[in-house]
């Protein structure tokens, strides 16, 4: 079930939760969508300002980084 979040602070709190599995970023011509998958809900945040979106991308937790794939037992 998706839930939309309006505040950036709320989204960051959800992204730092223990049950948050991954963060996906969807770039559109007029907005950027951030999606965090938690155990029960998929939380989405829509940002129309490109500078705010870039700052939010940099402040995401590193273990939930959408550009670093997490493959189990690779290189071990």
CATH code assigned to 2-64: 3.30.720.90
* Total Cβ atoms within 10 A of residue 7: 9
- Ordered alpha helix ranges (H), 18-75: 50-58
Query: pTM for this structure?
Result: 0.80
C-alpha–C-alpha distance, residues 76 and 74, integer Å: 6
Q: 76 or 49: whose pLDDT is higher?
A: 49
Domain coordinates of the chain in residue numbers? Answer: 2-64
Residue 16: phi, psi to the nearest 5? -90, 0
pLDDT by residue (tens digit) across 22-73? 999 999 999 999 999 999 999 999 999 999 999 999 998 877 666 655 555 5
Q: Give the pLDDT score at 68.
A: 56
Contacts for 57 with CB less than 8 Å, ≥ 6 apart: 25, 34
Nearest to 46 by CA among 2, 3, 13, 6: 6
């Amino acid at each position: 079930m998706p839930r939309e979040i309006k505040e950036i602070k709320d989204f960051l709190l959800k992204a730092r939760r223990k049950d948050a599995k991954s963060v996906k970023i969807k770039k559109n011509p007029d907005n950027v969508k951030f999606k965090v998958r938690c155990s029960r809900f998929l939380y989405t945040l829509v940002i129309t300002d490109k500078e705010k979106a870039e700052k939010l991308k940099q402040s995401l937790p590193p273990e939930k980084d959408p550009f670093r794939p997490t493959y189990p037992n690779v290189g071990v």
